[in-house]
Amino acid sequence: MAKPNPIDRLSRFLGDQICYVFLITVAITAYEVVMRYVFNAATIWVTQTAIFLSALGFIFGGAYAMEQGRHIEITSIYDAVTPPVRRVFDLIRCGVAVVYLGFLLYATVHQAIPALSRMETSGQAWDVPIPAFQKAALALGVAAMLAQALRQLVGRLAGSPRPSGESS
């Protein structure tokens, strides 16, 4: 088997590492419940942190799901057409992903830049720059997805078959 493509490796690396945010979310949620209920000392940071961590999981899970071929699609017509038509469908599918994610990258970068430049904070009692980081993370996550989409488009143009697992 050929060595995995670097973009695939990046997507997989992101997903493999980002998944721990959910374990941390469980831990801090339990901590919050115990602090509030047992010690009558609710924290000011758990809610915001839990939302932020989950958001990171959602954002970077996108490229991970693409690499694993897990994005959901309807294949009844795709399965019924002839191989040449199927190839056209494939190119359209990859093209749509590239165009959407390209526009989205432009939009999310333009959203992240002002938020980062003024280090936008949550404005809550725990007044931390989570919004700035989260807007930046969204742009990075979209960039990772766009890289994955481009890699799939190039692969299809070169005539390679759909990666296993991508069809379902």
Partner 1 sequence: MSVETLTLLMLGAIALLLAIGVPLAFVTGIVAVGFGYALFGDGALGLIASRIYSFMNAYVLVAVPMFILMAAILERSGVARDLFKAMHVFSGSLRGGLAVQTLGVAVIMAAMTGIIGGEIVLLGLVALPQMLNLKYDRNLAIGTICAGGSLGTMIPPSIVLIFYGLTANVAIGDLFVATIVPGLLLAGLYLLYILARCAISPELGPPASAAERSLPLAEKLRLLKAVALPLFVAAMVLGTIYAGIASVSEAAGMGVVGVIISAWVRGELNWSMLRDALRQTTVTCGTLLWITFGATALIGIYNVVGGMAFVKSLITDLPLPPLSIVLVMMLILIVLGMFMDWVGILLLTMPIFVPIVTHLGMDPVWFGILFCMSMQVSYLSPPFGPAAFYLKGVAPPDITLQQIFGAFWPFIFLQLVGLAIVLFFPPVALWLPSVLGAG
Partner 2 sequence: AMPGRSAKAAETHEWKMESLWQGGSINQTIFADFCNRVDAATAGRVKITPMPVGSIVAYNETLDAVGSGILEAEHNGIAYFAGRDAAFALLGDLSGGYEAPWQMQAWYEYGGGLELARELYKPYGLYFVGSVWWGVESVPSKVPINSPADLKGVKIRAPEGMASQLFKAFDANVVTLAGSEVYTALERGVIDATDWGTLSMNTDLGYQKIAKYALYPGVHSMPAADVAVNLDKWNALSDDLKATVEMAARDFSRDMVERIAVQDREDAQKMRAEGVTLIDWSPESRRIFRQKAQGIWETWSKKSPMAGKVYESQVSFMKKIGLL
Give the residue, chosen from 17, 54, 124, 160, that forms a contact with partner 2 under the rule CB under 8 A.
124
Closest C-alpha among 34, 70, 32 to residue 51: 32
> Does residue 82 sit in helix, strand or coil?
coil
Q: Please state, in angstroms and rounded to a whole number, the distance separating the CA atoms of residues 85 and 87.
A: 5
Residue 95 C-beta: closest distance to partner 2, Å: 27
Tell me the C-alpha distance between 38 and 61, whole Å: 35
Q: Which of 9, 42, 44, 58 is in the footprint of partner 1 by CB under 8 A?
A: 58
- Residue 40 in contact with partner 2, rule: CB under 8 A: yes
Task: Report yes or no: 94 and 156 within 8 Å, Cβ to Cβ.
Answer: yes
* Residue 44 contacts residue 123 (beta carbons within 8 Å): no
Our CA dihedral for 150, 73, 86, 88, rounded to 10 degrees, sits at -40
* Contact yes or no for 46/29 (Cβ under 8 A): yes
User: Residue 121: which of partner 2, partner 1, none does it interact with, CB under 5 to 8 A by kind?
Assistant: partner 2
Q: Which of 131, 134, 138, 142 binds partner 2 (CB under 8 A)?
A: 131
Q: Answer yes or no whether residue 152 interacts with partner 1 by CB under 8 A.
A: no
Nearest to 97 by CA among 66, 74, 120, 70: 66
* Interacting positions 74-133 with partner 1 (CB under 8 A): 74-78, 89, 92-93, 96-97, 99-101, 103-104, 106-108, 110-111
Kindly list the residues in this chain that would bind partner 1 in the complex (CB under 8 A): 15-16, 18-20, 22-23, 25-26, 29-30, 32-33, 37, 47, 50-51, 54-55, 57-66, 68, 70-78, 89, 92-93, 96-97, 99-101, 103-104, 106-108, 110-111, 134-135, 138, 165, 168
Kindly list the residues in this chain that would bind partner 2 in the complex (CB under 8 A): 36, 40-44, 46-48, 111, 114, 118, 120-127, 131
